Structure 1
Amino acid sequence: MNVTFLGTGAGMPSKNRNVTSILLDLRQELNEFWMFDCGEASQHQILHTTVSPRKINKIFITHLHGDHIFGLPGFLSSRAFQAGREPVFIYGPKGIREFVETSLEISGTRLSYSIYFKELEEGLIFEDSKFKVYCKKLDHGITSYGFRMEEKDLPGRLLVDRLKKDNILPGPVYQQIKENDFVTLPSGEEIDTSPYIDKPRKGRVIVLFGDTRYNEEHIAFAQNATLLIHEATFSKEQGQLARDYFHSTTIQAAHLAKEARVKRLIITHISARFHKSESNQLLQEAQSVFTNTQIANDLDEFLIKTTEVHQGNQKD
């Protein structure tokens, strides 16, 4: 599992940062990608990756400001040339359906696939055999949501050394042992497979916030996340601006990560007022509160390992 930032800017594109769009690569888990927001020119950013648009079949929209949705009609239109009849599921605030359908109708766009909409209310919005997705309202000028993706517990690893010690040699039987409670060996002996399977591994948790002011009520939603992706539109000196415009500072994002005891924080949604040379300053501000912080740049890709521990890493 990894996450790719197609755009990391706030409000409008700059020379160094396109506006917001993020991809979660779930090819190993589900053979698909999930997209979070789709700012202007997101489809062009995809051309700089190895991502196939037809593999993007779930799109989660945090809120309806233009820098988060203006790329959506174009992406959906272009996807029709590549995706055949594979449907798309779009989750977003009330109004997302009207925005998409109106844009496609006025432009005379005809899609070769179906779109299914779910306009959001707080709580569980999606579940399958491997993931649960929850959403929560944030504190922004218009309705804005955060998303919490919880991977269900993963099967324990096969204890190969123990198998070999018991003279159960590698072969197709190993796969059978992984998938069944009891297995008949080539010798005819039936064995209980549980002694040869390690305990289940805790699934990963990815929390992604849309635009928001800092609010202590958000801490519980991000609690113990493997990865928190949080906006940091302003620097630490611009706290009043952040409040006036319903955004967060670097320090506020880091404080939330610290209080929620997340494993890792990635800050994004950087104001166009900051030059590329100032990125390191913004990163250092956040790291002064929460050590394990990274700043996203366009087309950055971050691996999310199953071995990452669910506990915070911060300075006291």
Structure 2
Amino acid sequence: MLRLTFLGTSAAQPTIHRNLSGLAVRRDRELFLVDCGEGTQRQMIRFGTGFDVDAIFFTHFHADHYLGAIGFLRTLSMQGRTTPMDVYGPRPAKRLLDVMLFTGTERLAFDVRIHEVAPGTEVRRDGCVMRAFATEHRIPSVGWALVEDERPGRFHPEKAAALGVPMGPLYGALQRGEAVTLADGRVVRPEEVVEPRRRGRTMAVTGDTRPCAGTIAAARGADLLVHDCTFGDPEQARAEETMHSTAREAARVAREAGVRELVLTHLSTRYDREWQPLVDEARAEWPGPLSVASDGMTIEVPLPHDLARAPSPG
């Protein structure tokens, strides 16, 4: 499973329909948050993501992207969590979060391990890495790419049987990439019965950014790109001034990176409920699967061999 649940899709301030930035990423047994704006924990209850978060990945430390972490971590403490929480973000993660979480307040019931990262930092998780990549905003910032490990190639038991390999441990050895020797002395190599290894999934989340080479490189060939889309064409100058992106610019990044699907998020309040102009502008640059995120929307990212089955926003 690789499922994204959009917890907050508004830029700078909440609206009736949109909370501040937050994204829940469920990959098999692990749950990550990418950013945690104010009100995120209520959104997690509302949309049923669960509170079993293994790590929080911040893109930057503007207030609308991190203030919700303070209350959320205290809720986990009141609920009796004892497992350490790993928190990752660009500078000033260590200085800022140390002050916000531990100065003049009751200590949490679990350890919070704060890791300051830079573009290129890789965080190893179960079956994947979370890779920080360079973005361009007004303060130090990164995007996060989830890159799954390669998967074993498909094993063909009928081919193994035809070569005289008996069912049992030798099948397992071949699937692990080991050559096996049969009772008659013949050697069967894994490439005779196992297809080449298959790539895993890749998704990239920019946070707040101008369109930039760092995003294009990190999202090259990705299954999904979640990109800042604060403004439309009429606000081009404002996008450049505040170091955000327009829908057209985000779509251009998606096209240049060759991604499979694009999701636009972090919308200005002027597009709170009327985002069709953003879709129209993005369509001028991007012909592929495209959606504008809304709070509670979920996307299932399929395995590469299932790509005929498109993700379905909820």
**What is the rounded CA distance, in whole Å, between the counterparts of 2:172 and 2:79 in structure 1?**
35
- Provide, for residues 271-296 of structure 1, a one-character-per-residue CA deviation record: whole Å limited to 9, x for no partner: 112231x1233223212311222111
How many residue pairs end up in the alignment?
A: 305
Structure 2 residue 71 is the aligned partner of structure 1 residue 88: no
Confirm or deny: 8 A CA contact 1:24 1:35 kept in the other structure: yes
Q: Aligned to 2:14, what secondary structure does the other structure show?
A: coil
Confirm or deny: 8 A CA contact 2:136 2:209 kept in the other structure: yes
Distance 1:200 1:238, change over 3 A: same
Deviation at 1:306, TM superposition (A): 1.6
1:120 maps to a residue whose letter is V
Confirm or deny: 8 A CA contact 1:137 1:143 kept in the other structure: no
**Further displaced range: 174-183 or 253-262:** 174-183
Distance 1:127 1:273, change over 3 A: same
Structure 2 residue 287 is the aligned partner of structure 1 residue 287: no
Q: Aligned to 1:234, what secondary structure does the other structure show?
A: coil
| 2:34 equivalent among 28, 33, 36 | 36
Structure 2 partner of 1:20: 21
Confirm or deny: 8 A CA contact 1:263 1:309 kept in the other structure: no
Confirm or deny: 8 A CA contact 1:8 1:297 kept in the other structure: yes
- Provide, for residues 122-170 of structure 1, a one-character-per-residue CA deviation record: whole Å limited to 9, x for no partner: 2133235632333233221111211222222111122245456668798
**What is the rounded CA distance, in whole Å, between the counterparts of 1:87 and 1:138 in structure 2?**
29
Structure 1 partner of 2:312: none
Confirm or deny: 8 A CA contact 2:18 2:272 kept in the other structure: no
Distance 1:160 1:299, change over 3 A: farther
Query: Structure 1: which 5+ runs fail to align?
Result: 311-316
- Counterpart mapping for 1:181-200 below 5 A: 181=178, 192-200=189-197
Q: Aligned to 2:115, what secondary structure does the other structure show?
A: strand
Q: Aligned to 2:113, what secondary structure does the other structure show?
A: strand
Structure 2 residue 230 is the aligned partner of structure 1 residue 233: yes
1:20 maps to a residue whose letter is S
Structure 2 partner of 1:48: 46
RMSD: 2.9
User: Where in structure 1 do 4 or more consecutive aligned residues deviate above 6 Å?
Assistant: 166-173
Distance 1:164 1:287, change over 3 A: farther
- Provide, for residues 227-266 of structure 1, a one-character-per-residue CA deviation record: whole Å limited to 9, x for no partner: 1110100012211111111110000000011111111111
- Provide, for residues 6-34 of structure 1, a one-character-per-residue CA deviation record: whole Å limited to 9, x for no partner: 1111101101111111111112xxx2111
Q: TM-score, normalised by structure 1?
A: 0.85
Distance 1:129 1:302, change over 3 A: closer
Distance 1:167 1:80, change over 3 A: farther
**What is the rounded CA distance, in whole Å, between the counterparts of 1:144 and 1:235 in structure 2?**
22
**What is the rounded CA distance, in whole Å, between the counterparts of 1:22 and 1:135 in structure 2?**
16
**What is the rounded CA distance, in whole Å, between the counterparts of 1:242 and 1:49 in structure 2?**
31
| 1:211 equivalent among 197, 205, 208 | 208
**What is the rounded CA distance, in whole Å, between the counterparts of 1:275 and 1:149 in structure 2?**
28
Structure 2 partner of 1:119: 116
Q: Aligned to 1:36, what secondary structure does the other structure show?
A: strand
1:236 maps to a residue whose letter is D
Q: Aligned to 2:270, what secondary structure does the other structure show?
A: coil
Distance 1:155 1:85, change over 3 A: same
Structure 2 residue 129 is the aligned partner of structure 1 residue 132: yes
Confirm or deny: 8 A CA contact 2:15 2:272 kept in the other structure: no
Distance 1:157 1:279, change over 3 A: same
Identity of aligned residues (%): 29
Distance 1:309 1:232, change over 3 A: farther
Query: Structure 2: which 5+ runs fail to align?
Result: 308-314
2:8 maps to a residue whose letter is G
| 1:301 equivalent among 294, 298, 303 | 298
| 1:70 equivalent among 52, 67, 71 | 67
**What is the rounded CA distance, in whole Å, between the counterparts of 1:160 and 1:291 in structure 2?**
41
**What is the rounded CA distance, in whole Å, between the counterparts of 1:87 and 1:113 in structure 2?**
5
